[in-house]
Amino acid sequence: MEALALQGGFSDASVEAALAFRAVMRAMARPGTVEHVAGAVPPAPLSAAAGVVMLTLCDPGTPVHLAGEADCAAVRDWITFHTGAPLVGRERAAFAVGTWPDLLPLEGYPMGLAEYPDRSATLIVELNVLEARGARLTGPGIAREVALSLPETVAFQANAARYPLGLDFVLTCGDRLAALPRTTRVEAN
């Protein structure tokens, strides 16, 4: 294990994890709302926001899939050291992290079961841009509609049509994140 894997975690874990957890939960409760987070400095290619989400929501009982360039020794060692999360293939993942093209096809991830829809994956999608413009979002937690820059709309529409099954998404860019739960309806702008 590289010495760099030992760095970049929360310096004040109890406070920073609580703040990060609150930001992620606000983002999930208010889809399309962009939240700023801090406290993690993960190895490249992960963004600070993706690192914060991983440190906050992953533990030894949380199978994680690393897609594309995120599946590198530095990231594997960092996640293992800081969270203890087992690294698995997409078909067993509770969380997956990577860029949109690297995470595709979405059908390979757990979508939940009729009896247990919560047994689905959450995908942490690394984006180059995360802004309140673009696709229109409506649904629970959104007063009327909000806009959010998404990598595409068709896959998110198909995902929402699977409800109560489907995937949840946390979109990350730099120190910002936004959530797109499976209950959110997406329309192209």
| Backbone dihedral angles phi then psi of residue 122, each to the nearest 5 degrees | -115, 125
d(CA 42, CA 120): 25
- The predicted pLDDT at position 9 comes to 72
Please give the average per-residue pLDDT across 154-163, as a whole number.
Answer: 96
What is the per-residue pLDDT across 83-136, written as a single tens digit (0 to 9) for each?
999 999 999 999 999 999 999 999 999 999 999 999 999 999 999 999 999 999
d(CA 27, CA 148): 12
Task: Give the pLDDT band of residue 12 (cuts 50, 70, 90).
Answer: confident
Provide the strand spans (E) within the chain: 35-36, 64-66, 95-99, 122-126, 135-138, 146-148, 168-173, 176-180, 185-187
- The predicted pLDDT at position 1 comes to 53
pLDDT at 54 over 90: yes
For the chain, give every domain's residue range.
Answer: 3-187
Residue type, 79: I
d(CA 128, CA 115): 37
Structure tokens at 120: 């689905």
Number of H helices, E strands in the chain: 5, 9
Task: Give the pLDDT band of residue 2 (cuts 50, 70, 90).
Answer: low
pLDDT at 3 over 60: no
Q: What is the third-level CATH fold of 3-187?
A: Rossmann fold (3.40.50)
Please give the average per-residue pLDDT across 37-47, as a whole number.
Answer: 94
- The predicted pLDDT at position 173 comes to 98
163 - beta bridge partners? none
- The predicted pLDDT at position 158 comes to 97
What Cα–Cα distance (Å) separates residue 71 from each residue in 33, 96, 179? 28, 10, 23
Give the global pTM: 0.95
Length of the chain: 189
Share of the chain above pLDDT 90, in %: 89
Would you tell me the crossing angle of helices 48-57 and 13-29 to the nearest 10 degrees?
A: 100
- The predicted pLDDT at position 44 comes to 95
pLDDT at 59 over 80: yes
